[in-house]
Amino acid sequence: KNPNAVEVQSITTAKTQTLYIDKDDADYMCGKRVVIVDDVISTGESAMAVEKLVTESGGIVAGRMAILAEGDAADREDIIYLEPLPLFFPKT
């Protein structure tokens, strides 16, 4: 049903992914306040792709949340998260 789509390059997968929202869900979201929730935010690319789908559907992004904020994402002021997820670099 005429889905909206946005491509995203996530650090968790090697290939470009495409996120979709169908017309019925987009219409339902139109004019509503939406909170974007992710399990882990690292670069924020996936959350930005979802935000694009929300705004293109007429939704209003009311907040961005994650369970964990990995690395530099913990320094961002535009997300709320429960705990930081530190990065570990093996000795070479």
How far, rounded to the nearest angstrom, does the alpha carbon of residue 70 sit from its chain's CA centroid?
Answer: 13
Q: b or e along 38-68 (b: 16 or more beta carbons within 10 Å of the residue's beta carbon)? A: beebbbbebbebbbbbbeebebebeebebeb
Strand-pair category, 60-70 with 33-41: parallel
The structural domains of the chain, ordered by start, are: 4-85 (3.40.50.2020)
Q: What is the pLDDT of residue 89?
A: 83
Q: In this model, does residue 1 exceed pLDDT 70?
A: no
Q: What is the pLDDT of residue 14?
A: 74
Q: In this model, does residue 22 exceed pLDDT 70?
A: yes
The string of pLDDT tens digits covering residues 36-91 is 999 999 988 999 999 999 999 999 999 999 999 999 999 999 999 999 998 888 88
Half-sphere exposure of 60 (CA within 13 A, CB side): 4
